[in-house]
Structures are given as C-alpha cells and as structure tokens.
C-alpha cells in the first residue's frame, strides 16, 4: 500500500497476528476472486483502507510447517478510510522507516520493488 498525497511516498504496514511483526496486508484468495480483487479486499479487511491496484510488484514463497505458501504482492493506491477492518495495529511509514522495521528479508525485497515501481 503506497500513499503519496503530493509529498513523499509512505507505505502501510500492519501487525501480524502471531508474531506481531510489521508486515504488508495479505491473505487468501476466495473462490471466484482474482489476485487483484483479493489484494484490495485484504487491505480493506486488515487495515480498514480502500485502495485500487496499480501494479503487481513481487511474488514470494515461504513455508509454514510443511505447507508452501505463495504470495503475490501488489502496489495499491490509497483511496480512503473504510469502516470495519480487523482492528490490527497499522501505520504509514516512509521507505527508510519501513525498511528498518520490516524484519524479513523477503518483505524488504518487496518494499524495494514497490519503491522502484512507484517512482
């Protein structure tokens, strides 16, 4: 999630439920949904933000136990606030701040891709 508002870009991160680490909103694709639709829905659900997809910026894979998880990340433009959401902590960070608080190498690479693609 990227927001410029006429000034420097800022990136939206949410707290992960289990680890409490700062991460990008993400989730599962529901039946009949495109990846882009899932991205917009998950940002709304996890962060209470309306958005629109700008571009697909990265794909990552990681393991949770024996399960392999594939994630497609999208740069999405902030449109506005929504009611609802999951009540997670969320915060807008500058690129440098976000890079410092993200604790996973693969997510820092996603952030780097977003920064390059949103110039």
Give per-residue pLDDT as tens, 3-48: 766 778 899 999 988 888 999 998 899 999 999 999 999 999 999 9
For the chain, how many structural domains are there in total? 1
Q: Are 91 and 13 in contact (CB under 8 A)?
A: yes
Q: What pLDDT does 39 receive?
A: 94
Q: pTM for the complete prediction?
A: 0.85
Q: Locate 75 and state its tokens.
A: 């740069």
User: 97 CB contacts (<8 Å, ≥6 apart)?
Assistant: none
Give the C-alpha separation, 11 to 62, whole Å.
22
Is residue 61 pLDDT above 70, yes or no? yes
* Distance set, CA 18 to CA 14, 15, 105 (Å): 12, 9, 18
Any idea what the CATH number is for the domain that residue 86 is in?
3.90.79.10
Q: What pLDDT does 84 receive?
A: 63
Mean pLDDT of 104-116: 91
């Amino acid at each position: 999630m990227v927001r410029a508002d006429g000034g420097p870009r800022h990136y939206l991160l949410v707290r992960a439920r289990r680890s409490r680490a700062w991460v990008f909103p993400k989730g599962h694709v529901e039946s009949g949904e495109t990846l882009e639709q899932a991205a917009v829905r998950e940002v709304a659900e996890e962060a209470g933000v309306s958005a629109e997809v700008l571009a697909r910026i990265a794909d990552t894979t990681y393991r949770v136990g024996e399960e392999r998880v594939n994630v497609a990340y999208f740069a999405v433009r902030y449109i506005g606030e929504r009611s609802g959401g999951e009540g997670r902590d969320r915060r807008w960070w500058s690129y440098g701040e976000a890079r410092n608080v993200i604790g996973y190498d693969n997510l820092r690479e996603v952030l780097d891709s977003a920064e390059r693609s949103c110039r």
